A = this chain, B = another copy of it.
Amino acid sequence: MKYQAIRTSAWKANLQLPKLNLVLFTFGNVSVIDRALGVFAIKPSGVPYDELTIEKMVIVDLDGNTVDGDLRPSSDTLTHAVLYKHWTSIGSIVHTHSLYATAWAQTQRDIPIYGTTHADHTTVDIPCAPPMNDTMISGNYEYETGIQIINCMKEKGLSHEDVEMMLVGNHAPFTWGKTPEKAVYNSAVLENIAHMAYLTEQIEPKSARLKDALIKKHFERKHGPDSYYGQSS
């Protein structure tokens, strides 16, 4: 019973992925952490979204060991575990193979910031981590994927609290957030940004990045100390 809350919210969040058109079949997963208990709930591996139930969500500790549940957890579980361990302020992680974000990941390019839709969510190009070296791949692959994400953020001087989305080169996107609602929201926003950036370059290959004043303005009106977007809480 003590896992019921994260099981329920992980189940609800996973069901958002097909509704938002972010997954084909089982190609995605959401997890939600309970920091007090030191465990997270994650989608079971290979189970179709329309067969998911609250009870089927698997409870895993931060080393990726199953603590409770009858099914095998997502094959990406260790990536989630590593991110939760290093980034103690995040509450939920989403992984999808959404169409446009995955295509960008397959090019190994960062997604340039071309407009205010992008700037409303982050002030930098969406980072794309390079593929790992062969030793990491043939070793503890999913663990190393998490380390790769963390290292890429460090090398680019980015904070996971400012930038809640990343592409893993040749693979696909990961997003995160304080809540599952925010983490799923970020996946849908990333797909939207990836789609718009693709179209922008197709229409005009020489399109310029958004200028600094607009980046700053749009991000701050939504996220700065004097933000005036949304309702005050």
A binding-site residues for B, Cβ under 8 Å = 24-25, 27, 44-47, 71-72, 75, 97, 99-100, 102-109, 114-117, 131, 134, 137-138, 141, 170-172, 185, 188-189, 192, 195-204, 207-208, 210-211, 213-214, 216-217, 221-222, 228-232
**A210: nearest residue on chain B (CB-CB)?**
B170
**A203: nearest residue on chain B (CB-CB)?**
B107
With A106-B114, A109-B203, A204-B109: A72-B228 Cβ-Cβ less than 8 Å: yes
Contact of A170 among B170, B214, B216 (CB under 8 A): B214
CA distance A134 to B214 in the complex (A): 8
Q: Check if A198 sits within 8 Å of B199, measured CB to CB.
A: yes
Residues of B within 8 A of A141 (CB): 217, 221
CA distance A216 to B137 in the complex (A): 9
Q: Check if A106 sits within 8 Å of B137, measured CB to CB.
A: no
Residues of B within 8 A of A131 (CB): 211, 214
Q: Check if A172 sits within 8 Å of B72, measured CB to CB.
A: no
**A230: nearest residue on chain B (CB-CB)?**
B46
Task: Give the residue among A46, A106, A204, A214 with the most B Cβ atoms within 10 A.
Answer: A106
Q: Check if B230 sits within 8 Å of A27, measured CB to CB.
A: no
Q: How many copies does the complex hold?
A: 4
Residues of B within 8 A of A200 (CB): 103, 106-107
Can you show 16 pairs from A to B with CB atoms below 8 A apart?
Answer: A44-B231, A45-B229, A46-B229, A46-B230, A72-B228, A72-B232, A75-B222, A75-B229, A97-B117, A102-B196, A104-B203, A106-B200, A115-B172, A137-B217, A170-B214, A171-B214
With A137-B217, A200-B103, A230-B72: A116-B207 Cβ-Cβ less than 8 Å: no
Contact of A103 among B97, B105, B199, B229 (CB under 8 A): B199
Residues of B within 8 A of A71 (CB): 231
Q: Check if A137 sits within 8 Å of B213, measured CB to CB.
A: yes
CA distance A213 to B171 in the complex (A): 13
Residues of B within 8 A of A208 (CB): 108
Q: Check if B46 sits within 8 Å of A231, measured CB to CB.
A: yes
CA distance A200 to B194 in the complex (A): 12
